[in-house]
Amino acid sequence: MLSEDGTVLYVGKAVNLKRRVSSYFQKSDLSPRIQLMVRQVIKIETTVTRSEAEALILENNFIKALSPKYNILFRDDKSYPYLMFSGHRYPQMAYYRGSLKKPNQYFGPYPNSYAVRDSIQILQKVFQLRTCEDSVFEHRDRACLLYQIHRCSGPCVGHINEVDYHDNVRQAAAFLHGKTDELTTTMHHKMQQAADQLDFETAAKYRDQLQALGLVQSQQFIDSKNLNSNDMDILALAEISETVCIHWVSIRGGRHVGDKSFFPDTRFRVAEKLQSYGEAFVAQHYLGKKKPNAIISNFKLPASLQQALLDEEGKNMQFITNTAGERRVWLRMAERNALMAIKQHQLQQHSQHQRIEALAELLHLDAEDINRIECFDISHTQGEATIASCVVYEDEAMQPSKYRRFNITTAKPGDDYAAMREVLTRRYGRLADNDDSIGAWPDLVLIDGGKGQVHMALDVWQELGLHIPIVGIAKGPERKPGLEDLIIPHLQETIHLAPHNPALHLLQTVRDESHRFAITGHRQKRAKARVTSSLNDIPGVGAKRRQALLMRFGGLRGIQAASVEDLSQVDGISPTLAEKIYDVLHH
């Protein structure tokens, strides 16, 4: 369903298209939001597919690509992290996001980055696989610190042969697949065999691995022997006062690796049945992605969706709703977590509602008109490496995926006013030219600064013909939170609010995030510029030696972290020159 300007409002599927579409235009009991959608529909486009399963996949692809306003959308539909073994001669173990590519091996998806990094730490202790980047691995001639502390087997310098290393990779894969009993038996056998041959060093290695593996198993949250499938997801759907939540519990290799709560956007609720949210989540979360062996849920999936998942995976997935024993305990736990997450979510939303309403009252605006706030801040060190940040508060939450940083290029170093003019002109000049690829128009712009920065913003507004409300938030005389002055040009007022005021809390939250984002970018830019500049200024370090250093240590941070002895191992770098480089980078 499309609006007059071609915007896709809604994507749906139906076995009986006439009945489905006419229901939107003939029913008199539609919700106000659906009535709003129907009033905007100017055109309907259809695509015929060969089966319900194919229609479901197409619907899911359209929803992901077009983000229709009135479809059920899960805000956290980013790519999920995986643990990867690369396809190299000596595979690298790494954290990975993105599309899955051969010949790499992938394990997951995991609910968050912490679960992946926890698994990597475990595997480092037990199987000692390399985690370094190729640029570092290929240019080392001495084993790094990880080898010294028994977290890597040192394949970069030949401390382990290719056959033994690949054996470790296979064992790590077996562990991730939950085959810990089989792995333990194999290690015991190899340890005993080495001891019988009086190879006590090898026997000790297997003993240490067994001890590390035993420690890991003692920390398991699930006894994999009691579950028929070691890779499974548990999904619990719940609703309280029109707030819907799906709680996802992820079990990989028999281990509970984490869980996460998801909240669909129900402001424009098309689905009348709660189960529709579960179906939408499963379609968005699993179609086109790696799947577990089993999905245990407190809602039933339609046969068409089950078939679509089976067709994609090419293996016998299980879809379980009626369960007992330990699985039932886990499902009930997930349901309780979903209900708890809803209550916490509602409390947070209530708090955000209060803050928005207080801000709207302060600015003499309607609360419904304040949805997107953008905040700008400038960061530099005495004019060096100036960075401007733009952070976004939208739908009553910070939206990190919409943040932007700007390198300031035209303003003189240290001129905060000119820097503010540059970033505002660049951002809103493009939007004024109908370039919506950089985001949407804000409802309110917050400037981290005093009257000078606000005056620059007003000049830009006049040049571009803008009428968006502006608020400047200036630090108080002692630069302490709660003492800020708010500069509000459209009211021609400068206001000081009480420290406990909800409107001030909202503005402080957005301002602090803008400041954090700006200073982080500035420090990164400054560090890179200083190291590069320092290398350029060292007599005897020309283009070839700079390139050799960068290749050897994998980048500027690697060079900074290297010792004098490490630096002197690079071709063309003498011990004397290594000392010079070290002194310049550390003083």
Q: Look at residue 217 and tell me whether its pLDDT is greater than 60.
A: no
pLDDT digits (tens, 9 = 90+) for 2-55: 888 888 899 888 888 888 888 888 777 777 778 888 889 988 888 777 677 767
The answer to whether position 102 is within a domain reads yes
Helical pair 502-537 and 575-586, crossing angle rounded to 10 deg = 160
- Any idea what the CATH number is for the domain that residue 573 is in? 1.10.150.20
**pLDDT averaged over every residue in the chain:** 82
Peptide bond between residue 469 and the one before it cis (omega within 30 degrees of 0): no
Question: Other CB atoms closer than 10 Å to residue 196's CB: what's the count?
Answer: 9
The answer to whether position 35 is within a domain reads no
Name the one residue in this structure whose structure tokens are 């370090």. 541
Round to whole Å and give the CA distance between 419 and 377. 10
Looking at the fold, whether 208 and 231 belong to one and the same domain comes out as no
Decide which of 470, 499, 514 is a domain's last residue: 514
Looking at the fold, whether 384 and 428 belong to one and the same domain comes out as yes
Interval 409-427 mean pLDDT = 87
Out of 40-44, 91-95, 116-120, 445-449, pick the least confident. 116-120
Decide which of 469, 499, 514 is a domain's last residue: 514
Round to whole Å and give the CA distance between 449 and 456. 11
| Model pLDDT, residue 52 | 76
* Position 267 confidence tier, pLDDT thresholds 50, 70, 90: low
Decide which of 199, 220, 241 is a domain's last residue: 220
Look up the domain containing 559 and give its range: 538-586
Q: Look at residue 223 and tell me whether its pLDDT is greater than 60.
A: no
Round to whole Å and give the CA distance between 576 and 556. 20
DSSP structure string for 156-188? GGTSS-HHHHHHHHHHHHHHHTT-HHHHHHHHH
Looking at the fold, whether 257 and 214 belong to one and the same domain comes out as no
| Model pLDDT, residue 468 | 93
* Position 533 confidence tier, pLDDT thresholds 50, 70, 90: low
The answer to whether position 263 is within a domain reads yes
Looking at the fold, whether 159 and 267 belong to one and the same domain comes out as no
The answer to whether position 574 is within a domain reads yes
Q: Look at residue 225 and tell me whether its pLDDT is greater than 50.
A: no
The answer to whether position 452 is within a domain reads yes
Task: Give the helix/strand (H/E) hosting 560.
Answer: helix 556-561
Domains in the chain, number: 4
Looking at the fold, whether 260 and 201 belong to one and the same domain comes out as no
Looking at the fold, whether 188 and 281 belong to one and the same domain comes out as no
Out of 19-33, 411-425, 542-556, pick the least confident. 542-556
Looking at the fold, whether 205 and 319 belong to one and the same domain comes out as no
The answer to whether position 550 is within a domain reads yes
Q: Look at residue 221 and tell me whether its pLDDT is greater than 70.
A: no
Looking at the fold, whether 422 and 509 belong to one and the same domain comes out as yes
Q: Which of 318, 340, 321 is nearest to 259 (CA)?
A: 340
pLDDT digits (tens, 9 = 90+) for 429-438: 988 888 767 7
pLDDT digits (tens, 9 = 90+) for 394-413: 988 888 889 999 988 887 87
| Model pLDDT, residue 199 | 78
Looking at the fold, whether 563 and 486 belong to one and the same domain comes out as no
| Model pLDDT, residue 237 | 93
Share of the chain above pLDDT 90, in %: 20
Cα angle vertex 228, ends 222, 229, to 5°? Answer: 75
- Any idea what the CATH number is for the domain that residue 330 is in? 3.30.420.340
Q: What pTM was computed for the model?
A: 0.52
Looking at the fold, whether 417 and 462 belong to one and the same domain comes out as yes
Interval 517-527 mean pLDDT = 78
The answer to whether position 298 is within a domain reads yes
Looking at the fold, whether 397 and 506 belong to one and the same domain comes out as yes
Looking at the fold, whether 498 and 546 belong to one and the same domain comes out as no
Name the one residue in this structure whose structure tokens are 């605006």. 365
| Model pLDDT, residue 266 | 63
Round to whole Å and give the CA distance between 468 and 489. 11
The answer to whether position 315 is within a domain reads yes
Interval 285-295 mean pLDDT = 86
